[in-house]
Amino acid sequence: MSTRKERLTVTVDPSLVEAGNDAVAEGRAESLSAWVNAALQERVARERRLVALAHAVVAYEERFGAISAQELVDQTRADRGSAVVVRGSTPKAGTRKPQRRRSP
């Protein structure tokens, strides 16, 4: 982004201001303005990706026809079946982890 900034007055939820101030206090942001600026940059990038994705879907459907609800269900099932577990593990049939006893 440019080094020249534009002053902006906005109304923000108190919890978001607190989160921004926490980020500054913890050294994760230079200032509340920098934290808000980074959040806006991330939002712009996300929206641009969504627009690009929408254009890609339109182009795909123009070439191959509309994607049906059943195709989405089938693809979701296939994706879950081929997913790699990153955290934890997938329980095997018939096995359970022992439960921890809670202190009274």
pLDDT (0 to 100) of residue 55: 98
CB neighbourhood size of 35 (10 A): 20
Q: Alpha carbon of 74 to those of 16, 57, 82, 92: distances in Å?
A: 39, 17, 13, 24
8 in a structural domain: no
95 in a structural domain: no
Q: Which residue has the higher pLDDT, 61 or 103?
A: 61
Q: How many domains does the chain have?
A: 1
> Confidence band (pLDDT; 50, 70, 90) for 18?
very high
101 in a structural domain: no
Query: Is it the case that residue 42 has pLDDT exceeding 70?
Result: yes
Domain that residue 68 falls in: 14-80
* Rounded distance between C-alpha atoms, residue 23 and residue 19, angstroms: 6
70 in a structural domain: yes
CA dihedral 45, 49, 51, 56 (to 10 degrees): 160
